[in-house]
Structure 1
Amino acid sequence: MNAILSKQLNRVRLALSFTTRLPVGQQLDYSPTEMHAALVYFPLAGLLLASLLSLLFLLAQPLAGIEVTAVLLLIASLLMTGALHEDGLADSFDGFYGGFETQRKLEIMKDSRIGTYGSAALLLALLLKLMLLIQLAQQQLLIPALLIGYSLSRALAVTHAQDLPYVSAPGKSKSDPLAKPLSLPLLACLLGFGLSGLLVAMIGWSLPVVVALVVLVAVVAVRWCLKHWMHKHIQGFTGDCLGAAQQFQELWIYIVLLAVANLGYWLPVVTELPSGVAG
């Protein structure tokens, strides 16, 4: 039993080391096989990030106000992840729209420099995220939105390996462990962890089941669009593509949650939050 727990803890640490800059300790047992199995914990890494951002929001918002705190959350998120997914978003746009042939698109995506398409996409994505965080905070929905967005978007990004080929050169990328599809048991675990944020929101913030279903339908639809977007441009996926997919899904989740709140379909329980927070 101790050996099983130790192996799973190592995989959690591997997931954190891959997706964040958070300290995970020394002597990680790394191998391509172990890293591949650690993919199922990517949503839990997102849930941890969302929890840390939620704590920052609770501490800073009463002192600095919603707008300033939203900027601090954005900065903290970029620092904790090393802008991993944002980098993928920028590289994907540079490659997809800066080249004509598939090989040229891949070459551009591997270039460490950022171009016009990538700069524009990154700027607009960060601006949109900032505005969404502010609006969600004003609706007293920021914390559940973070929990849902950070966990579910990471799970969905990983699933693109199930039905798209990996097109980067093997052995030359940090994302090589993402190349293979997950087995059905591991895929079930990944999706289960990805739904954890929704479950927490349903329990702690009275997220209606109907709204949860709307979110799921919405993200599945976007996943379908992203899959065809990747296939159209490079006939597969790279690690950068998965970063872009995560960013698209996270933003889309925030938009859907804000829309259902504005339509009056989700009136969260706010008495559990400390006095003076939000609003």
Structure 2
Amino acid sequence: MLRRELEYFFGAVRFFTRLPVPGWVGHSAEALNRSARYFPAVGLLVGSIGALVFLGAMQLWPQPVAVLLSMAATIYATGAFHEDGLSDTVDGLGGGWEKLRILEIMKDSRVGSYGVVAMVLALLGKFTLLSALDATLVPYALLAGHALSRFCATVLLAAMDYVREDLLAKAKPLATRLSMAEMALAAGFALAALALLPLEKAIAGGALAAAATLWLAAKFRRWLGGYTGDCLGAVQQASEIAFYLGVLVHLPTAVSG
């Protein structure tokens, strides 16, 4: 039982990152389907890498430099997997006007102007928001942001239909519905990370991440009738940025008469 769950977890690590996994971990479509429950756990792992690099870099450089190095570390760990999905999704939705054309653009390995703009804005957005955040909160925000955003993508995977049938699609092995128990496990990883933050910041960040997910889900349903692997990457990126935006919110204080 434990070995099987470890195999599912390491399967998720292998699929969603470029990190090494033990040699005994097998590979099958069924195992990869089951590994979707550990998508937020992979986020915790990637967020931990970012947090550790940030903490180390803060001993030598100002916060913006530490944030930049932290972002570089997480992108290196994932191979820009989700950033690529965001770029392809925005290219497709920006350049296509019907389902088949959108899917064709998303499948194209070339990056268009819409995708470039989305990538630049996403990277600048994360850099700006994390640089503006209190340095003591950044490691916890990274952990929660990476875990929660991947849970948002897991919700999309569980709630919507997969719309591409070709063998080259990124999320083909993950085109499955998760059980309630699997979703509860995935949610547990995200909630554990959120618990590290002050309650009001966790709530604000979670609310904006949920709003970004619902907004994108509505677009995907309207234009595609479901999701593709690139859509999952777009949700991860958008909800991560929205989460940091929520954590940074400064609520106005009441002025006493």
TM-score band w.r.t. shorter chain: over 0.9
Q: 1:13 to 1:122 in 2, by over 3 A?
A: same
- Letter of the 2:213 counterpart: R
Q: Deviations over 1:178-212 (max 9, x none)?
A: 211101111111111221211233xxxxx12x443
Q: CA deviation at 1:85?
A: 0.4
What is the alpha-carbon distance in structure 1 between the residues aligned to residue 28 and residue 94 of structure 2? 35
Contact 1:158 1:178 in 2 (8 A): no
> Do residues 153 (structure 1) and 149 (structure 2) align?
yes
SS of 2:195's equivalent?
Answer: helix
Equivalent residue number for residue 245 of structure 2: 255
Equivalent residue number for residue 231 of structure 1: 221
> Do residues 102 (structure 1) and 92 (structure 2) align?
no
What is the alpha-carbon distance in structure 1 between the residues aligned to residue 152 and residue 96 of structure 2? 27
What is the alpha-carbon distance in structure 2 between the residues aligned to residue 70 and residue 172 of structure 1? 34
Equivalent residue number for residue 269 of structure 1: none
> Do residues 174 (structure 1) and 164 (structure 2) align?
no
Structure 1, unaligned stretches of length 5 or more?
202-206, 265-279
Q: 1:217 to 1:124 in 2, by over 3 A?
A: closer
What is the alpha-carbon distance in structure 1 between the residues aligned to residue 215 and residue 53 of structure 2? 34
> Do residues 24 (structure 1) and 24 (structure 2) align?
no
Q: Deviations over 1:239-275 (max 9, x none)?
A: 0000000000000000000114x758xxxxxxxxxxx
Q: 1:244 to 1:57 in 2, by over 3 A?
A: same
SS of 1:200's equivalent?
Answer: coil
Q: Deviations over 1:116-135 (max 9, x none)?
A: 00001101111111111211
Structure 1 length as normaliser, TM-score?
0.86
Aligned residues: 253
Q: Deviations over 1:141-176 (max 9, x none)?
A: 101110110101101111112332111124332311
Equivalent residue number for residue 131 of structure 1: 128
What is the identity percentage for the equivalent residue pairs of Structure 1 and Structure 2? 39
1:93 pairs, out of 90, 111, 114, with: 90
Q: CA deviation at 1:223?
A: 2.1
Contact 2:220 2:226 in 1 (8 A): yes
RMSD: 1.6
- Letter of the 1:8 counterpart: E
- The structure 1 segments of at least 4 consecutive aligned residues displaced by more than 6 Å after TM superposition are none
Structure 2, unaligned stretches of length 5 or more?
none
> Do residues 194 (structure 1) and 184 (structure 2) align?
no
- Letter of the 1:54 counterpart: A
Q: Which moved more, 1:95-104 or 1:163-172?
A: 163-172
Equivalent residue number for residue 50 of structure 1: 47
What is the alpha-carbon distance in structure 2 between the residues aligned to residue 152 and residue 120 of structure 1? 24
Q: Deviations over 1:90-130 (max 9, x none)?
A: 00011111111210110110011000000011011111111
